Structure 1
Amino acid sequence: MHEMLHDRLEGFCSGDFATVLNSAMNRHFVNKQTIERDFEESGERDRLREMLTLRLSECGWTSLVEEKCRDFIRKKGIENVTLEQVVGEVKQDARKAVPEEVKREIMDAIRAFVSKQVGPLDCEL
């Protein structure tokens, strides 16, 4: 279950990174692939993924989502559900439950990384 959540968190980080990157690209001549490659190769993506996992665990989000998954599986029966069905059932509530402070911390870290690559970002996302 924890691995499933970890994999699904990747989408959260990737989406936020893309938002910041696209905003930066609108004001600067930069190569998106280069920044994405640097984000991956520098280890920043992994560092932020680990930080996100830790923050979500600390605030109780991980336990909340795991319990929602268990409840759905109990209702449907373990033999009658797929991973995609479980994710589909809890995804929207799970995203809404991410504390604003955690979102802000991750977005600030992404902005800082992109800013180092392309110059200061003056956007509020």
Structure 2
Amino acid sequence: MSEAELDQKIETALRNSILETNAKNRLKNLLFKRLSDSGWKNRVKKRCTENIRTKGVNNIKLDQLEDEVLAYEIIPEDVKIELLQQISDLLDETK
């Protein structure tokens, strides 16, 4: 492989990595915004606060709190659908 071909491969790999990173960041930002807009974030925060108050800050472990909150809260269906559609669109763009 010539030096020019190697440079081209590296440039292509770098460009693809940047595009993938940007896509991941866009999806992550969209998810956080939709969860916040739907009130999910506030419900989770409230549930955490209630659990800590009920059990006492010294009597609850992070993994217990996480299990209880995750079992209680699920991602709203409309947020899931929108995010899956965005992922599908991104996959279609890369074909």
Q: Under TM normalisation by the shorter chain, which class is it?
A: 0.7 to 0.9
Q: Which runs of 4+ in 1 moved over 6 A?
A: none
Report how many residues are paired: 81
Distance (whole Å) between structure 1 residues aligned to residue 61 and residue 26 of structure 2: 30
Partner Cα distance (1:82, 1:69) in 2? 12
State the partner residue of 2:89: 112
Matched, 1:44 2:14: no
Q: CA distance change for structure 1 residues 101 and 39 in 2, over 3 Å: closer, same or farther?
A: farther
1:102 to 60, 79, 87: 79
1:40 is displaced (CA, Å) by: 7.5
Distance 1:71 1:48, change over 3 A: same
In the TM superposition, residue 112 of structure 1 has moved relative to its aligned partner by 1.2
> Cα distance, 1:106 vs. partner?
0.3
Q: Which runs of 5+ in 2 are unaligned?
A: 1-12
Q: 1:66 deviation in Å?
A: 0.5
Partner of 2:37: 58
- One-letter code aligned to 1:99: P
Relative to structure 2, which stretch is displaced further, 54-63 or 40-49?
A: 40-49
> Which is higher, the Rg of structure 1 or of structure 2?
2
Structure 1 residues 78 and 108, CA gap change in structure 2 (3 angstroms): same
List gaps (5 residues or longer) in structure 1: 1-33, 120-125
RMSD over equivalenced CA pairs, Å? 2.2
What does 1:1-125 align with in structure 2 at a 5 Å threshold?
Answer: 38=17, 41-95=20-74, 98-117=75-94, 119=95
Secondary structure, counterpart of 1:78 in structure 2: coil
Measured in 1, the distance between the counterparts of 2:17 and 2:60 equals 39
Q: Which has the higher contact order (CA 8 A, sep 6+)?
A: 1
